[in-house]
Amino acid sequence: MPGFELFGALEREETNKVLRTGVLMRYGFDGLRQGQWKAKEMEKALANRMGVKHAQLLSSGTAALTVALCAAEIGAGDEVIMPTFTFVASFEAILSVGAIPVLVDIDDSLTLDPKAVEAAISSKTKAIMPVHMCGSMANLRALSALCKEHNLFLIEDACQAIGGSYEGKPLGSYGDMGCFSFDYVKTITCGEGGALITNNSKFQKHADHYSDHGHDHVGNDRGKEEHPFLGYNFRISELNAAVGLAQIRRLDDFLAIQKANYTIIRNELEKVSNITFRAVPEGGIENYSFLSFFLENREEAKRVQTELTDAGVDGCFYWFDNNWHYYKKWEHLLEAKSLGKLPKEVIHGIGKQKSNNFAASDNWMGRNISVLIKLGWSSEEVSKRAQTIAEVVSKHTRTTP
């Protein structure tokens, strides 16, 4: 991670096919595009790789989450449960449809704690949105059982975890819908882009229409298409889709590189005592884009992260005080700071959470360091990095004999 590290001939070949036609829009212009339909090709390739019936390409991962919520007809006043650790796009998507993001504690998987989720379910809850942060997954079996018990939707935010799996199913395919990001720093990239996958034909139809101003895409004259309901513009371009098409074909190669580099670093860190590794739910396989571990306390974790940076080890994240990924810096959400007026239900729903105690999340995030696993490292680079990380961490712990 990220896929841009290995841009090459395949990406250039697919984008040049589009540039030769001059048709950058995914819809229409049939006579000019010379048979090139890159968005359709990537949707087919993604659906096949994820083992689902449908895939809808979109302009971003945020768009994918937004469209997924709308496809499930979630809107004004509805509540969507999400974790305290994620990227801000998760709650931005919820707010964009008029729904209320309900923050819930994480556990040692760095994802939603099923017990905390159960306690947060109310009569207004419509969906649970687990976020598979840093390449690993939530306990989807437990969350799926809660959804079935309470008649809720399970919408997987798999934007950071493409290629991982749970109980033999690719992440994103376990719930009612799964969402991916293909922005510039994801395991595979379109430059900018995202996707929604599902086995539900109604959700796919909703996503298809909603993401293109409500066009029903019936017939071959775009101007005569009907609009059965309101929609917005969340389309991806053919040029972005062409890059993604090349990258999805390389996904398994990327995953193999990530796993190899991850394993080298993990093997070194396993020699260091008094650290523990992120819990992966039974039946889960990470996509190995990050290696996450816990130190004994918050002060130690912060000190180690600083020393790793000083030692030239980039890509070591201390999420606890990160501006974008942890609730403690989401004052714009918790104080409902918006350029436009938010609905009263949303303001009230957010306001109730300002005094919530997320001590369990603080315990895990405060002690966590996540190491980004890159694709472009040479064998010498990854070995040196592994040794440096282990040396820095071991200064603050006791090494095994």
- pLDDT tens across the length of the chain (401 residues): 889 999 999 999 999 999 999 999 999 999 999 999 999 999 999 999 999 999 999 999 999 999 999 999 999 999 999 999 999 999 999 999 999 999 999 999 999 999 999 999 999 999 999 999 999 999 999 999 999 999 999 999 999 999 999 999 999 999 999 999 999 999 999 999 999 999 999 999 999 999 999 999 999 999 999 999 999 999 999 999 999 999 999 999 999 999 999 999 999 999 998 999 999 999 999 999 999 999 999 999 999 999 999 999 999 999 999 999 999 999 999 999 999 999 999 999 999 999 999 999 999 999 999 999 999 999 999 999 999 999 999 998 754 44
The residues near 113 (Cβ < 8 Å, ≥ 6 apart) are 104, 105, 106, 107, 360
Contacts 24+ apart (CB under 8 A), 329-336: 330/88, 330/91, 333/88, 333/91, 333/95, 333/101
Per-residue confidence (pLDDT) for residue 401, from 0 to 100: 45
Statement to judge: residues 219 and 261 lie in one domain: no
Count helices and strands in the chain by DSSP H and E runs? 14, 14
List, in order, residues 6 or more apart from 46 with CB less than 8 Å away. Answer: 55, 57, 180, 195, 197, 248
Taking the CA atoms of 122, 128, 130 and 131 in sequence, report the sign of the dihedral they define. Answer: negative
Same domain, 187 and 309: no
Whether residue 400 lies inside any domain: the answer is no
What sign has the CA pseudo-torsion 106, 279, 153, 240?
A: positive
Per the CB < 8 A criterion, the answer to whether 280 and 290 are in contact is no
- 177 domain-assigned: yes
Which of residues 196, 220, 250 is at a domain's end? 250
Q: How many other C-beta atoms are found inside a 10 Å radius of the C-beta of residue 218?
A: 10
Both 228 and 265 in one domain: the answer is: no
Q: Output the domain CATH number for residue 279.
A: 3.90.1150.10
Domain identity same for 263 and 377: yes
Please tell me whether residues 213 and 299 are part of one structural domain.
Answer: no
What CATH number did the domain enclosing 225 receive?
Answer: 3.40.640.10
Among 250, 282, 300, residue at a domain's last position = 250
> Is 54 within the bounds of a domain?
yes
Q: How many domains does the chain have?
A: 2
Q: How many residues does the chain have?
A: 401
Residue 258 included in any domain: yes
Task: Tell which residue, 40, 57, 93, 50, has the closest CA to residue 199.
Answer: 50
Residues 53 and 130 grouped into a single domain = yes
Residue 295 included in any domain = yes
Are residues 228 and 359 both part of a single domain? Answer: no
Question: Amino acid letter at 90?
Answer: S
374 is catalytic: no
316-317 β-sheet, strand order: 276-277, 290-294, 368-372, 316-317
User: Does residue 308 form part of some domain?
Assistant: yes
pLDDT of amino acid 398: 57
What predicted TM-score, i.e. pTM, was given to this entire model? Answer: 0.97
Q: Which two tokens stand for residue 362?
A: 């603080």
Cα–Cα distance for residue pair 254/111, rounded to 1 Å:
24
Domain boundary among 250, 277, 309: 250
Sign of the dihedral through C-alpha 356, 359, 361, 362: positive
| Burial call 293-309: b when 16+ CB within 10 Å, e when fewer | bbbeebebbbbbbebbe
Which is it for strands 284-285 and 125-128: parallel, antiparallel or unpaired? unpaired
Considering the domain boundaries, does residue 401 fall inside one?
no
Whether 157 maps to a domain, the answer reads yes
Same domain (yes/no): 261, 341: yes
> Within this chain, do residues 19 and 33 fall inside the same structural domain, yes or no?
yes
Catalytic residue (one of 186, 224, 337, 374):
186
Residues 182 and 281 both lie in one domain = no
Where would I find the H helices in 238-378?
238-248, 251-269, 298-310, 331-334, 344-351, 359-366
134 and 16 assigned to the same domain: yes
Residues 43 and 131 in one domain: yes
What pLDDT score does 399 carry?
47
Q: Give the structural domain span for 383.
A: 252-394
DSSP letter for each residue of 259-293: HHHHHHHHHHHTTBSS-EEPP--TTEE---SEEEE
The residues with which 183 forms a beta bridge, in sequence order, are 191
